Every structure is written in structure tokens, then in C-alpha cells.
Amino acid sequence: MNKSMFMIDVDTALEIFELAKKHGKKVGDNCQEEFDEVRNKNPDKFVYVGNTEKDIDLLTGDLRENGLKIFNMNEIERRNKNENQSE
């Protein structure tokens, strides 16, 4: 399944997460609805990058191999989960 990729700034990401929180979503819930809502309201904050078949973890790894600094929320969640399990 092709997935569209967009580049956004940190403030826009926080806006999406805050809106999801207001809608009653919890950490790990899908925020696609909020993403679309913010994108429709402020399309200039979203830069279309392209489409991919890769999942987020594979795409993040590939981009890092090309020298980009990429933030992946999934990695932080896994790290926190592993730290909590080892305690």
C-alpha cells in the first residue's frame, strides 16, 4: 500500500498531537484524522515529499543511511518500553 509522506515542523506535529488529545486519543492511537484536519486547515505547513511502500522504521533507517537526522516516535516508545521492562 502506497503511503504519502509529508514534512512538517515541530510546532505542527505538536498541534496534531494536542488535537488528538482533545479528541480523547491516547499514546499509540492513530492520529490520521487530526493530521488531515490540520493539513486541510493549514496546507502551507505541509511539504509533500513523495510516496513509499516502506514502513516507518525501514524508511527512517534508509534516510539515516543517507545522512539525514530523522526523529521516529516509534523508536522512543520502544526504548521506553524496554527500559520499563528491565526495571
- pLDDT tens over the chain, length 87 residues: 778 889 999 999 999 999 999 999 988 788 999 999 999 999 999 999 889 898 888 888 888 899 988 877 777 777 888 888 876
| Among the listed residues 45, 37, 42, the one whose alpha carbon sits nearest the alpha carbon of residue 18 | 37
Beta-sheet pairing, 3-7 with 47-52: antiparallel
For residue 43, how many C-alpha atoms fall within 13 Å in the half-sphere facing its CB? 2
Domain count of the fold of the chain = 1
Show the beta-strand stretches assigned E in the chain. Answer: 3-7, 47-52
Q: Write out the residue range of the structural domain in which residue 23 sits.
A: 3-86
